[in-house]
């Protein structure tokens, strides 16, 4: 296996000779044009010294550092250490786990870490420092991750498809593994390690039991062996009914002794293939997936049974809280809270409950999930969706760092003011022993990895915030633009501004003022606010917006579903009064009349129209701004992004016209001046959107 990994290294060494089409992500070690900076950096580029005990990760760190320095500075790094003028990699057990320190000492630059991962992360931090042309003289930089498990969840299937994947087929070529290691696997590992991601779940949470068979375990082992050299641990999503599917048992009841024995034996088998296997990710009793409730058992019963099987191997169970029953008279907003809150304190100590950032399903904007701050005895992992299921797939530019930060900085008031979601997740509010955060991956087989090149920024931002949630979306955007697109001082602020405005623009032309879940059913693409029937009531649009001639919105106050009552009083106070509720959450919590005057001075109807029209105009603004940087970015990248922005403008028009025309049939009011009535009819929009849903 080591020979295969070395071969992949050699194959990768030719990648930089290709055109700049986004393949290298943010790991572009192109020659710096700033001669002053190059001179400053070369003072410490005479040699690289590594610890005597050379692990695979240390060799990775050495190789990556050498590659980066030679690319950025244009000279080869000597193989013989001298007294000064070089970079020393060393272990320092006094530093926090996986952390690092970068400092100048004795004429050398010293990168220290308490473990090999820390040293590797320190190397990537230094290279980021150089790529963004920051001062190196007198540097004294230290950092450590605030969250221990920083994971990507892949929704990849055995046949190469990706559920909610918009960048081509799966990265994992299962039919070629384990014999053939695609060079992209190593490049993927490099990208993750460079932003501090230390774990991946390889397969879809709607899991095939096939992944637990020897046929697939040997394939998973091949990936785990490669990823290990970059400090990345492998997890698998498992099908809860595997004892029946694979073991021919009559039941998968978690309290059945035979079932427990089957899982224990299966865990032993997995660890024989992969000794440092991370554990199981589980979606159970959700959207048709099997689970313990089929046998009258709780989520805690199911999770604890798996936790017992993994315990001696120090493995963990990550149990997803995405559950909701099809109750036409209920409120899906409350389902996960009502099921999991009573189980607080009943989960085994190697179980983490993974909770989506919001209570519905990765909408363009959601209030933070009420479970955060409500389960002090159970470690909660935060799950974001990097892939753009509800954010325009791969044709829309939406920088999600703003979405991530909005959730992370929301205050739960679990232990008074300042008990943010971020501090709940990092364990500082409830003193969780183990902490975790996950992002549903947006990668695929497309040459540029993410379909829309600008979506690379969302992968990057997730990793950076998983490491340190106090970073600002502005800083992350600045880093990504300089490392990926251009260091032209005139172009960087323009591109940053596009990124920073993009999420709000998308919300404006799709779901302004707190509208949610009004997209096309099935593929979740395009507008379908008129959807009144589906396989489940909570898969329709009318379930959420509840429009009629009197107004629009879901009343979640005490007079309605009382979902607001799931939060602490301080949070309720922010949202309980429609007159003072932040407009971005207004229709999440309130039914509002069409003629109700809002804080903007407009009536609800006029404000709704204003935002839909403003959203379309803002996409045109993004197009003009992108045109300003034409000469500062690679021509292939420029043209690809420009083309996708043109598509986004067309899709924004579809959203605007469909929603304005549909809601107008209830408001019975004209589109306010200076905006003009859509040229297309509602029937035309319905026919157009129906085409989206064809399979």
Catalytically annotated residues: 287, 361, 389
Strand duo 551-552 + 592-593: pairing: antiparallel
How many whole angstroms separate alpha carbon 308 and alpha carbon 602? 58
Under DSSP, the state recorded for 96 is: P
How many whole angstroms separate alpha carbon 273 and alpha carbon 224? 9
Q: CB atoms < 10 A from the CB of 74, how many? A: 12
Residue 206 in tokens: 């709607």
Under DSSP, the state recorded for 590 is: -
Report the residue count for the chain: 695
Helices 2-12 and 214-228 meet at what angle, rounded to 10?
60
Please provide residue 83's backbone torsions phi and psi, each rounded to the nearest 5 degrees: -75, -35
Closest CA relative to residue 62, chosen from 86, 85, 38: 86
Rounded to a whole number, what is the largest CA-CA distance in the chain? 81
How many whole angstroms separate alpha carbon 492 and alpha carbon 487? 6
Contact between 88 and 109 under an 8 Å Cβ cutoff? The reply is yes
Q: Give, in order, the Cα–Cα distances in Å from 326 to each of 294, 369, 528.
A: 16, 19, 20
Contact between 317 and 303 under an 8 Å Cβ cutoff? The reply is yes
Identify the bridge partners of residue 142 per DSSP, sorted by sequence position.
101
How many whole angstroms separate alpha carbon 273 and alpha carbon 226? 14
In sequence order, what DSSP letters do the residues of 533-576 get, joined into one string? Answer: --SSGGGSSHHHH--BTTEE----STTTT-GGGGS-HHHHHHHS
Under DSSP, the state recorded for 452 is: S
Residue 449 in tokens: 């990895």
How many whole angstroms separate alpha carbon 354 and alpha carbon 372? 10
Under DSSP, the state recorded for 681 is: -
How many whole angstroms separate alpha carbon 474 and alpha carbon 471? 8
CA dihedral 481, 387, 360, 548 (to 10 degrees): 80
């Amino acid at each position: 296996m080591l020979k295969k990994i070395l071969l992949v290294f050699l194959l990768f060494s030719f990648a930089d000779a290709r055109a700049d089409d986004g393949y290298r992500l943010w790991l572009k070690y192109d020659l710096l044009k700033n001669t002053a900076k190059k001179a400053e950096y070369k003072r410490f580029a005479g040699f690289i010294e590594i610890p005597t005990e050379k692990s695979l990760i240390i060799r990775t760190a050495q190789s990556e550092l050498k590659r980066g320095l030679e690319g950025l500075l244009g000279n080869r790094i000597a193989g013989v250490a001298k007294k000064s003028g070089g970079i020393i990699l060393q272990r320092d057990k006094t530093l926090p786990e996986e952390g690092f320190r970068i400092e100048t000492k004795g004429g050398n630059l010293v990168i220290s870490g308490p473990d090999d991962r820390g040293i590797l992360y320190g190397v990537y931090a230094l290279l980021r420092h150089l790529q963004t042309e920051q001062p190196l003289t007198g540097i004294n930089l230290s950092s450590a991750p605030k969250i221990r498990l920083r994971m990507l969840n892949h929704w990849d299937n055995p046949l190469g498809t990706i559920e909610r994947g918009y960048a081509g087929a799966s990265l994992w070529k299962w039919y070629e593994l384990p014999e053939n290691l695609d060079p992209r696997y190593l490049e993927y590992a490099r990208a993750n390690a460079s932003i501090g991601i230390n774990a991946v779940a390889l397969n879809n949470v709607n899991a095939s039991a096939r992944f637990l068979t020897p046929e697939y375990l040997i394939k998973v082992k091949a990936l785990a062996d490669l990823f290990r050299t970059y400090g990345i641990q492998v997890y698998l999503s498992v099908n809860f009914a595997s004892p029946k599917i694979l073991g021919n048992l009559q039941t998968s009841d978690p309290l059945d002794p035979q079932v427990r024995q089957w899982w224990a034996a299966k865990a032993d088998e997995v660890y024989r293939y992969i000794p440092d296997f991370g554990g199981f990710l589980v979606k159970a009793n959700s959207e048709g997936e099997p689970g313990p409730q089929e046998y009258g058992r709780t989520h805690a019963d199911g999770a604890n049974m798996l936790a017992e099987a993994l315990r001696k191997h120090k493995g963990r169970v990550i149990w997803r809280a995405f559950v909701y029953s099809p109750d036409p008279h209920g409120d899906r907003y409350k389902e996960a809270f009502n099921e999991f809150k009573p189980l607080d304190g009943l989960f085994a100590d190697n179980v983490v409950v993974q909770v989506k950032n919001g209570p519905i399903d990765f909408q363009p904007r959601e209030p933070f999930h009420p479970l955060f701050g409500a389960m002090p005895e159970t470690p909660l992992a935060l799950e974001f969706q990097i892939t753009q299921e509800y954010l325009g797939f791969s044709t829309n530019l939406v920088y999600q760092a703003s979405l991530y930060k909005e959730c992370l900085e929301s205050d739960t008031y679990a232990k008074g003011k300042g008990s943010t979601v971020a501090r709940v997740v990092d364990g500082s509010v409830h003193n969780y022993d183990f902490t975790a955060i996950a992002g549903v991956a947006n990668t695929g087989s497309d040459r540029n990895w993410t379909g829309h090149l600008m979506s690379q920024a969302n992968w990057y931002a997730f990793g950076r915030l998983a490491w340190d949630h106090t970073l600002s979306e502005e800083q992350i955007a600045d880093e990504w633009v300089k490392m990926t697109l251009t260091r032209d001082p005139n172009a960087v602020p323009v591109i940053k501004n596009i990124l920073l405005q993009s999420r709000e623009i998308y919300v404006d032309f799709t779901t302004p003022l707190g509208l949610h879940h009004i997209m096309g059913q099935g593929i979740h693409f395009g507008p379908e606010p008129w959807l009144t029937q589906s396989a489940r009531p909570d898969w329709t649009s009318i379930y959420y917006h509840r429009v009629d001639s009197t107004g629009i919105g879901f009343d979640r106050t005490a007079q309605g579903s009382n979902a607001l009552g799931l939060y602490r009083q301080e949070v309720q106070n922010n949202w309980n009064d429609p007159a003072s509720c932040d407009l971005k959450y207004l229709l999440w919590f309130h039914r509002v009349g069409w003629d109700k005057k809002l804080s903007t001075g407009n009536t609800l109807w006029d404000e709704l129209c204003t935002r839909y029209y403003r959203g379309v105009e803002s996409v045109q603004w993004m197009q003009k701004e992108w045109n300003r940087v034409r000469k500062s970015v690679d021509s292939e990248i420029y043209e690809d992004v420009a083309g996708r922005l043109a598509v986004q403008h067309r899709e924004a028009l579809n959203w605007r016209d469909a929603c304005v025309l549909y809601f107008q049939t209830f408001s019975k009011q004209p589109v306010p001046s200076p905006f003009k009535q859509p040229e297309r009819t509602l029937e035309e929009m319905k026919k157009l959107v129906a085409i989206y849903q064809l399979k």
